[in-house]
Structure 1
Amino acid sequence: MNQSALAAAGLYAGLNALILLWLTMATALVRRRHMVVIGDGGVAHLRRTMRGHANAIENIPVMLVLLGFAAALGAPVLAIHLLGAAFTVGRTLHAWHFSHAEAAQWQRATGFGLSVLTLGAATLGVLGHALLLL
């Protein structure tokens, strides 16, 4: 197993965990500001922040699993860095868009696009590597 590739996957795991922490804190701050303990309390900004957090929870773990498997299956460290960096930039833009009450639509679109593109590429890469090694 390529230790550098595994270390790169670990780097993006850590960076994306920071994004999740940021979204957790953003959600908590909006909850506290509007005194909402459960649900969204009908607060549009809270609903928006919660949706951004939920979207990150839906996507980040899958990508991190794929990066870990790619590293374990022998993917080049450059591939891990390209996929991991693009995904992390995408998730950061997406989180920025959803953590603010109002934000430019390009942030959401670019963040979504980078996330889906890299998730798809990582999926195909892991499937390809796995099938070749069977």
Structure 2
Amino acid sequence: MLSITPIYAALLAIVYVFLSGWVINTRRTQKISYGDSGDDSMLKSIRTHSNFAEYAPFALLLIAMVELQGAGAVLVNILGLGLLTGRVFHAYGFGKTPQIVILRQMGMILTFAVLLIAAVANLVLAL
């Protein structure tokens, strides 16, 4: 049974809704109903939201499988906290103008680390 991963899924969902709101607000203020219309602020909000949507679900799936295979709470929490921190760092660093490159980089490093550690943990636990 999953008891830890749903907490991180819920927190990540809150971040996702916040990023969705940012896209909606940018569309409203820039009067753009579709695409980015060549507007840099629109493109930035779309890509910040999209990047989150590209990485968070896959990483959560891996974390959930690690938990379902019986990994300890410490590992599951480290993975969940790493993913949450990485995605928030990346979104904040990428979304600012000018970008805060170090936060963007730290966010991707954390996200990739979670993906790799969770993948290896799943392989080890499955064997």
Deviations 1:79-127 (CA, angstroms, capped at 9, x unpaired): 0000110110010011112333323111110111100111111011112
State the match for 2:81 in structure 1.
Answer: 85
Alpha-carbon distance between aligned partners in 1 of 2:12 and 2:123, rounded to the nearest angstrom = 23
Structure 1 gaps of 5+ residues are none
Q: Does 1:120 align with 2:116?
A: yes
Q: Does 1:29 align with 2:19?
A: no
User: What is the 5 A alignment of 1:1-134?
Assistant: 1=1, 6-130=2-126, 132=127
Q: CA deviation at 1:7?
A: 1.6
Q: CA deviation at 1:129?
A: 1.0
Deviations 1:37-77 (CA, angstroms, capped at 9, x unpaired): 00001110110111111111111110111111111100101
Alpha-carbon distance between aligned partners in 1 of 2:28 and 2:44, rounded to the nearest angstrom = 15
TM value normalised by structure 2: 0.94
| Large movers: runs of 4+ above 6 Å | none
Q: Supply the RMSD in Å over aligned alpha carbons.
A: 1.1
TM value normalised by structure 1: 0.90
Alpha-carbon distance between aligned partners in 1 of 2:20 and 2:95, rounded to the nearest angstrom = 10
Structure 2 gaps of 5+ residues are none
Alpha-carbon distance between aligned partners in 1 of 2:34 and 2:72, rounded to the nearest angstrom = 45
